[in-house]
Structure formats: C-alpha cells, structure tokens
Chain A
Amino acid sequence: MTEAKPTLDKTPDADTGTATVTDAVPDDAFLRTRGVSKSFHGRHVLKEADFRIGSGEIAVLIGKSGSGKSTLLRVIAGLEEPDAGDIDLAGQAVVRDGEYQEAWKELQGQIGMIFQSYTLWPHMNVLDNLTIAPRLALGETEAQLLDRAERALTEVGMAHHLRSRCTQLSGGERQRVAIARALMMRPRLLLCDEITSALDPPVAAEVLGVLTKLKEEEGIACGIVTHDMAFASKAADRICFFEDGLIKEDVPPEHAFNDPQTPGLQAFIDAVRF
C-alpha cells in the first residue's frame, strides 16, 4: 500500500536553503518532524529538519558524510535526544520543543532500526536473536515466537537459517536476519542507517529488495540512508538531500536525479552518478 506521494515546492527557502513542503502535502504522515535540531559539542549537525514519511513509503536520505542524515534517523529512533523541534508519530505528539512526551513510551516500539555494522548478538543463534526481545520486552511465549520467527525469516529469505549460529552467516545474511529481528517487534517505521555499505552490490540489492517488499506488502514506512543511487532511483518514493545539516531538497527521485534544484544536489549526483 502506497499513499499519494506528496508534492513539494522544490524551490529552496531563501533564508534557510531548505526545501519547503507545500500546502498540498497530506498531513497523515506516519512520521513527521518539524524544526528538529541537534548539536554535538557546539557543532550543529542537524538544523531545523522538516521531514516526513508516510505509511508504505520509502524515503531515501542522501548526502555527504556528516551532513546530518544519520543523526536525523538516530533522533527519530530515540538514540539521540533532539535539542529542539517537534516529532509526531502515528498522528501523536511524541516530542515537543525537544522534550519527549508521554506518548513516546507507548509509540517508540513502533520504530525499528537497522545499523551499518552487523548488530546480531554473536553469542546467540538466529532464533534466540529473533525471540529474546519479544520474550523479554513483550512477554510473549516461546511457542508463539517460534512460529513468528519462522515467518519473519521467510519474509527475508532466511527460513533455513533458524538454528544457525550468527557467526556462520555472511554479511548479507546477517543484515537480512537483522531486518527479521526488527520485524519481530512489529514496527510500523523501519530506519536503516547505511545497512548495505559493507556489502557487495548484488548482496546489497538483495537486502534492499527485502525492504521494498516490506513496504509494498506490509505497508511499513522506511527511512533509508544509503549511497546506493541505483536503489534510490528505483525504490525511493522520495529523495531527501542533506547538506551541512539542512534538508536542501525533498523531492521524488525522478526530480532528484534529472532535475536537481540546488548546486549541492547537482554536484552530489554528478559525483555518484551510476
């Protein structure tokens, strides 16, 4: 299920250089941030980010390293506290003026995150990696979880690895298991931070194919930081270009790749053109 794509005013704001959302944008985004900022040791890594992802939508975040893409994902995930700004999740206010609200406790479980490095716990096998969190955090039983784990692994094409040791898996297999592990918590929003950076292109394509399937079949919203422009052009519903902590463009992929409006995106596309 894919909701109507938002239309964006592609003309960067004269003051901030940020692409602004037009009135035509529907306000039913699963995730919406407004003016989210984050600094580390006095350095403004993220500056008043306005960002949204609808259910069943893939937003791909691109830009140079240090431009604020991963920081935005980490702020949305709750791994970094925002200095300022608002975040809405599933229509409810979870952050206001940089402060977490009561709804955050209830809704943070709807966010899953996959990391660049393989974050499977190596002292457990695949099944234990998948079931420990729902067992401990949600109180589900082993019997319930075995069936769900099998289904989650089937979703990512890893059903035959239920009892495998994580150390026996390849990089691509580990990332697919990591996606299955996130699915066990039934997320509605999946954040992926350069999850294919360490993978060969064919393996990366397999992993990203899993995300596209999840978006289409489960209606999961995905925010993906990647440097894989082939994937971005094919699977993204929106491309968000980051530069110096600002979202400079937030446009459909055809616009991003064929008609970039900012010199920064033009230069970035030229540099990574596939």
Chain B
Amino acid sequence: MNSVNLAYEFDLSVIGPALPTLLDGLWLTLKVATITIVASAVLGFPLAVARMSKIEVIRWPAQLYIEVFRCTPLLIQLLWVFYALPALLGVDLPGELSIIIALTAHLTAFMSETYRAGMQSVPVEQIEAARMLRLNRVQILRHIIVPQAFRQQIPTILSLNVSMFKDTSLISALGQADLTFQGNILASQTYRPMEIFTLVALIYFSIAFPATLFTSYIERRLITSGSRGAPPPASGLRGTLARMRPGQRPVELSRPALKSLLKPEGV
C-alpha cells in the first residue's frame, strides 16, 4: 500500500495566475445556479399544487415528472437534455440554455416536494377554522397555508439551493466553462492538480459555507420563535451538530391539511 506523500511541496505561485480564469468559471457557475434556483422556486409551486390535485389527469403527470427527476442521476438528466432533447425536438439548443433547462427541471422536482411537505404540515384544523370563517380556497392558500409552509421549509429550501450550487460542477462534463471545468484545464496546464483543485474546493466552500451557516441561523430563529411548533433542539454537542446540518429539523407531526382544503365545500 502506498503511503501518503507528506513531503509534497505546495507551489503557491500557480494560484495568482490561475485566479482570473477560475473567477471567470465562477461567474458562469453563479449565473447558472442563480437562474436555476429562481426558476425552480417559481415553477415548483404550481407543480406542488398539481401534485396535490384531486384530479387524476393533473396529479399523475405531476407525480410522474417528480419521480423521473428524483430517481435518475442529475448527470444523466444533463446529458439527456444536452444531447437527446435537441435531437428529439429538432432544434439547436445553446449549451448554456440546455444545462439551465436540465438543472431547473431537476431542482423544480425537489422544490415542489418541499413545498408540498410544507403545505401538508399545516394542521387540518387551521384550514377548517379558515373555512368556518368563510375564507375561500385561494384566500386560505394565500394567507394561511403558503406563509406557514414557506416558513416551515426555509431551511430545506436553502439546503437544496446550496446543493444545487455545488451540483453545477457537473456541467463541466458537458464542456461548459464553469469553475470546475476551468480548474480541470488549469490543473492539466500547470501539472499542479493539488494546488488548483484545493483552490477550486476553497472557492466552492467560501460560498457554500456561509449559506449553510445562514440556513442554520434561520432554522434556529424559526424554532426559537415557536412558529414551527417544534421542540427546541438538543443542547450540547448533539444539538450543535444537529443545528449545523443544513435542512435538518424536527419531524412535523401534523395531519395533512390539503385534504381538507381540496374537499368540496358542500354546495
């Protein structure tokens, strides 16, 4: 078994010349991630509503879409949209547009499930109380369910978005000049993969870590405010570790609410 080469000498002189190229790649990474996150945040909502519909011809396609994108690898989805979709549609899709479509389609499936979980965690009695106070379905959704669901799911949503930011590195496999792609090129050119890939990892970390800290902060605030009806997190090391895991939160124990909302009102 080979031993670890502790005598490796870092050549930090490659970092300075590499930075402009890496920042160029970071720009594409951030652009793709931002467009994908915003588009998925918007598209996830109608998909979640369709997924909860009582009408089967609406619910089933939504469910099929979600399962397809949840149960296939993201890289395969990227390859399929990049190579197969243009052939299927007979159009020439620009590479950047293809990857944004694929990443958005992927994240939308996860966002919709997050929205759905949030909406269904609102206790059914709250919906029934709203019905008794003569709020209509749209008003109940707008003023009662969505605000609570969104607050409930903020940590999960932020966590998904951080994951998406990291997953954009897969687009380098399609020749897109993102941060990972540029790092790969530089590592080949300089023969210093250790320095270059460490730097690339640090750049990803410097963006993702504050985001995960922010996620944990939001989560703690929501729990402290009691708006999520959850018990306070455990103290000590266990609690600290639990709080540091983005998206981790106490299990919700509420009954499905949308069942009541989508039910006929009697007339």
Which positions in A face B, CB cutoff 8 Å? 77-79, 81, 100, 104-105, 108-109, 111-113, 115-117, 119, 121-123, 132-133, 136-138, 167, 178, 181-182, 184-185
Contacts and interface: CB of A to CB of B under 8 A. Distances in A.
B264 A81 contact: yes
A121 B147 CA distance: 10
Contact of B148 (A121, A138, A167): A121
Contacts, number: 71
A256 B229 CA distance: 40
**Which one of B148, B229, B264, B265 has the greatest number of beta carbons of chain A within 10 Å?**
B265
A39 B37 CA distance: 47
15 contacts: A78-B131, A81-B264, A109-B134, A115-B125, A121-B148, A122-B226, A122-B229, A123-B148, A123-B151, A132-B135, A133-B133, A136-B135, A137-B133, A167-B227, A181-B129
A111 B143 contact: no
Contacts of B266: 78, 81, 100, 104
B126 interface: yes
A119 B128 contact: yes
A87 to B, nearest CB: 11
A149 to B, nearest CB: 13
A111 B132 CA distance: 8
B256 interface: no
A182 B227 contact: no
Interface residues of B, number: 26
B139 interface: yes
Looking at chain A's contact residues, is the secondary structure mostly helix, strand, loop, or mixed?
mixed
B163 interface: no
Nearest to B142: A136
Interface string B90-127: 00000000000000000000000000000000010110
A113 B129 contact: yes
A133 B130 contact: yes
A79 B148 contact: no
A104 B267 contact: yes
A119 B126 contact: yes
A128 to B, nearest CB: 9
Nearest to B145: A121
A185 B133 contact: yes
Nearest to A78: B266
B49 interface: no
A202 B143 CA distance: 34
B125 A117 contact: yes
A178 B126 CA distance: 11
B19 interface: no
B63 to A, nearest CB: 24
B190 interface: no
A79 B128 contact: yes
A105 B147 CA distance: 28
A114 B246 CA distance: 38
A182 B226 CA distance: 24
Contacts of A167: 225-227
B144 A121 contact: yes
A138 B135 CA distance: 9
B21 to A, nearest CB: 47
Contacts of B135: 132-133, 136-137
B131 A122 contact: no
Contacts of B133: 112, 133, 137, 181-182, 184-185
Contacts of B130: 121, 133
B181 to A, nearest CB: 43
B155 to A, nearest CB: 16
B263 to A, nearest CB: 9
A21 to B, nearest CB: 26
Contacts of B123: 117, 119
